[in-house]
């Protein structure tokens, strides 16, 4: 009872003191200190004995001059700071190195990188002797160093100790590990002027030349990206396309595709074909070579459903989506002749022949 009475008395004291200046007023204990910095003044630096060595330390938060404004006699409200920019700097092109090997990584699809690379070599005075889109490479003709553009010739000449001669470059573009990325490899050769005839004449490899070209290409591609670049529709169609695609079946009647390509190009081309066929890919496992697809849904279903949901306020029942799902696996397997593509229900069961042929025929149509 005494404790309750004490608490009641304390509440009465606090409530009566709420109007007192010593507690809440301008000079009270709990006063607002938000404008105190306006009265701040700089003071003279600290004085030390003459025989003491000092190292000047600049103040981290110096008080600017003329902070106080005599026109404001009332409380000053501190303005809110400007919102920070939410942009994030991302390097679309970067040089990579592992041991003595160097290459360029682009966060763009090969179809976008291809015309940018061709433009770089054309602008610098190269001509092309061979282009193979399906292999993702082109080879320049032998070109005298003094016939190249002045900036590039000066750069390359410095890297090869000023030796006069002819240069030939082989450029290879491969799909990157990440989706819609590319890896660019350069292999150059140098030979004395007039040492051979024709493009078939041999030359010696020059790693210094490779490094100089990669540096120049990196700078040029970044400038092109800032200006905006085009996409080669021909490269988009043919860049990662296998040189030969055949539809066959095994002894049990299970159909499969044979792709005359390495795994990287086959993986990229199958992914592109599924996208062009508007097939919904729910998951991928590149190490196993598997695309997990759902034939009951289109690839753009989420976008359409999101729009309808915003217009009508409805959302499709997940149970209905799950009930009609038709999930299969598109598996890529390395074989001696290239890559074999099969459609499976799971790891141990092939998909029904009708379903497998429908998917494989669609893939073959978009791979051709």
E strands along the chain, which residues?
93-98, 101-106, 128-132, 137-140, 143-144, 166-175, 182-191, 204-205, 245-249, 255-259, 279-285, 290-298, 327-335, 338-346, 349-350
Residues 214 and 157 in one domain: yes
**Pairing state between β 255-259 and 279-285:** unpaired
Residues 256 and 196 in one domain: no
Look at residue 126 and give its three-state secondary structure: coil
pLDDT in the model for residue 65: 57
Phi and psi torsions of 259, nearest 5°: -115, 125
Does residue 69 lie in a domain region? no
Q: Where does a domain end: 197, 220, 237?
A: 237
Q: How far is CA 56 from the centre of its chain?
A: 45
Does residue 224 lie in a domain region? yes
Residues 264 and 233 in one domain: no
Neighbours of 1 (CB within 10 A): 5
Degrees to nearest 5, angle at CA 40 with 38 and 41:
130
Does residue 78 lie in a domain region? no
Does residue 173 lie in a domain region? yes
Start-to-end CA distance of the chain, whole Å, equals 93
CA distances from 346 to 292, 343, 350 (A): 10, 9, 7
CATH of the domain at 128: 3.30.530.50
Structural domain span for residue 105: 93-237
Residues 281 and 200 in one domain: no
Residues 168 and 212 in one domain: yes
Tens place of pLDDT for every residue, the chain, 368 residues? Answer: 555 555 566 655 655 555 556 666 677 777 777 777 778 787 887 787 888 777 666 666 666 655 555 555 556 565 555 444 444 445 788 888 877 788 888 888 887 888 888 888 888 888 889 888 767 788 999 888 777 776 776 666 554 444 557 888 999 888 776 667 788 889 888 877 665 555 545 556 667 788 888 888 888 888 877 766 555 545 555 555 565 788 888 888 899 998 887 787 788 778 878 888 889 998 989 889 999 999 988 876 554 455 445 455 556 677 888 888 899 999 999 988 789 999 999 888 999 999 999 999 999 888 76
Q: Where does a domain end: 203, 219, 237?
A: 237
Residues 227 and 164 in one domain: yes
Neighbours of 354 (CB within 10 A): 8
pLDDT in the model for residue 86: 41
Does residue 49 lie in a domain region? no
Does residue 27 lie in a domain region? no
Residues 335 and 355 in one domain: yes
Residues 290 and 219 in one domain: no
pLDDT in the model for residue 262: 79
Angle at which helix 353-367 crosses helix 263-276, to 10 degrees, equals 100
For residues 56, 61, 63, 69, the Cα torsion angle rounded to the nearest 10 degrees is 170
Residues 263 and 323 in one domain: yes
Q: Where does a domain end: 183, 212, 237?
A: 237
In DSSP terms, 103 is beta-bridged to 96
Residues 274 and 212 in one domain: no
Residue whose structure tokens are 């999930």: 327
Residues 176 and 262: their CA atoms lie apart, in Å, by 14
pLDDT in the model for residue 355: 93
pLDDT in the model for residue 3: 58
Neighbours of 53 (CB within 10 A): 5
CATH of the domain at 266: 3.30.310.170
As for how many domains the chain has, the answer is 2
pLDDT in the model for residue 88: 43
Does residue 11 lie in a domain region? no
Residues 103 and 188 in one domain: yes
Residues 161 and 188: their CA atoms lie apart, in Å, by 15
Residues 354 and 357: their CA atoms lie apart, in Å, by 5
Residues 84 and 35: their CA atoms lie apart, in Å, by 24
| Cβ proximity of 158 and 81 under 8 Å | no
Residues 217 and 286 in one domain: no
pLDDT in the model for residue 63: 62
């Amino acid at each position: 009872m005494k404790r309750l009475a004490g608490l009641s008395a304390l509440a009465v004291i606090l409530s009566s003191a709420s109007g007192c200046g010593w507690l809440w007023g301008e000079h009270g204990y709990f006063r607002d200190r938000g404008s105190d910095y306006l009265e701040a003044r700089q003071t003279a630096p600290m004085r030390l004995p003459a025989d003491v060595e000092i190292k000047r330390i600049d103040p981290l938060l110096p008080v600017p001059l003329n902070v106080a404004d005599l026109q404001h006699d009332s409380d000053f409200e501190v303005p809110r700071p400007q919102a920070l920019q939410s942009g994030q700097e991302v390097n679309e092109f970067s040089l990579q190195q592992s041991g003595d090997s160097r290459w360029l990584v682009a966060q763009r699809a090969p179809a976008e990188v291809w015309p940018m690379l061709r433009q770089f070599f054309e602008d610098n005075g190269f001509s092309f002797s061979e282009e193979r889109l399906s292999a993702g490479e082109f080879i320049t003709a032998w070109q005298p160093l003094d016939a190249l553009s002045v900036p590039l010739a000066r750069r390359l000449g410095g890297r090869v100790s000023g030796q006069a001669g002819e240069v030939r470059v082989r450029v290879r573009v491969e799909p990157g590990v990440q989706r819609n990325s590319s890896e660019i490899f350069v292999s150059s050769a140098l030979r004395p002027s007039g040492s051979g005839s024709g493009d078939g004449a041999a030359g010696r490899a020059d790693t210094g030349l490779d490094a100089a070209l990669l540096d120049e290409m990196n700078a040029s591609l970044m400038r092109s990206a800032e200006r905006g670049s085009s996409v080669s529709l021909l490269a988009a169609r043919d860049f990662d396309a296998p040189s030969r695609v055949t539809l066959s079946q095994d002894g049990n009647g299970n159909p499969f595709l044979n792709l005359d390509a390495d795994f990287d190009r086959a993986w990229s081309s199958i992914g592109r074909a599924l996208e062009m066929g508007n097939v919904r890919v729910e998951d991928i496992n590149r190490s196993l070579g598997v695309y997990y697809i759902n034939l009951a849904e289109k690839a753009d279903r989420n976008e359409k459903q999101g729009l309808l949901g915003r217009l009508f306020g409805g959302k499709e029942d997940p149970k209905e989506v799950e009930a009609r799902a038709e999930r299969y696996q598109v598996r890529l397997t390395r074989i001696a002749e290239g890559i074999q593509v099969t459609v499976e229900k799971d790891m141990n069961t092939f998909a029904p022949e009708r379903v497998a042929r429908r998917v494989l025929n669609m893939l073959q149509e978009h791979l051709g």
